[in-house]
């Protein structure tokens, strides 16, 4: 049996401007805005997958879901009782800005990274995301800017976090370890975003022969 060729990985990621309008739109939503804003910020800083991100507790270790340790500055993406799967969920250091934000949240009684106004865990952000996508386009248009986020899903935050890390010069293999991405995927999907991508090869081709 001949299997069909593997489709090329989608490369949709947010520009800085798109992320700005999306976050601003989320904060403007009356009912779902606050928890969606936290989801967007945490997603952009850590590239954590949606399901894992929605389950993260603050300073409360558990077996069923991951948690963040604001004292040590560590993100545990998976609970201690979760089986290992092909969806890698490595424990990593928290970026300084996100650590400070979560620590402040913990001091005010916040229990989950993403939670409702009543302090409960958020089951899904599909409806809030759809609302923010529409609102972002409207807000940008009023400011004379044009953006279209209709082709995005919450998973775009993961692609964006990895892409931005590469564009800012992160070591490819360290980035792969941080985001839980295989070497093959880093090379195939994200490597070309790095400012030094193929630099030595280009330099060799440009070098004059003696």
The Cα–Cα gap between 57 and 102 comes to 10
For 79, phi then psi, to 5°, come to -70, 160
Taking only the tens place, the pLDDT of each residue in 142-197 is 999 999 999 999 999 999 999 999 889 888 889 999 999 988 888 888 888 877 65
At residue 7 the predicted structure's pLDDT band, cuts being 50, 70 and 90, is: very low
Q: In terms of Cα–Cα distance, which of 63, 97, 77, 79 is closest to 177?
A: 77
The Cα–Cα gap between 153 and 56 comes to 20
Tell whether the model's pLDDT for residue 8 goes beyond 60. no
Tell whether the model's pLDDT for residue 5 goes beyond 60. no
Per-residue pLDDT, 210: 53
Per-residue pLDDT, 172: 87
Token pair, residue 169, equals: 């010069």
Token pair, residue 126, equals: 């599909």
The Cα–Cα gap between 102 and 75 comes to 11
Taking only the tens place, the pLDDT of each residue in 73-102 is 999 998 765 555 445 678 999 999 999 999
């Amino acid at each position: 049996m001949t299997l069909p060729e593997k489709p090329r990985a989608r490369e949709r990621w947010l520009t800085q401007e798109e992320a700005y309008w999306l976050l601003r739109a989320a904060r403007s939503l009356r009912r779902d805005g606050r928890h969606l804003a936290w989801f967007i910020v945490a997603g952009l800083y850590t590239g954590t997958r949606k399901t894992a991100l929605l389950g993260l507790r603050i300073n409360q270790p558990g077996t069923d879901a991951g948690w963040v340790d604001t004292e040590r500055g560590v993100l545990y993406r998976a609970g201690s009782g979760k089986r290992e799967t092909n969806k890698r969920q490595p424990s990593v250091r928290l970026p300084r800005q996100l650590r400070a934000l979560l620590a402040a949240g913990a001091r005010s009684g916040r229990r989950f990274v993403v939670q409702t106004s009543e302090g409960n865990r958020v089951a899904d952000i599909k409806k809030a995301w759809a609302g923010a996508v529409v609102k972002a386009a409207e807000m940008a248009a009023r400011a004379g800017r044009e953006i279209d986020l209709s082709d995005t899903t919450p998973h775009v935050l993961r692609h964006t976090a990895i892409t931005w890390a590469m564009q800012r010069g992160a070591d490819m293999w360290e980035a792969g370890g941080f985001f839980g991405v295989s070497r093959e995927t880093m090379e195939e999907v994200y490597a070309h975003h790095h400012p030094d991508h193929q630099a030595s090869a280009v330099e060799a081709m440009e070098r004059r022969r003696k």
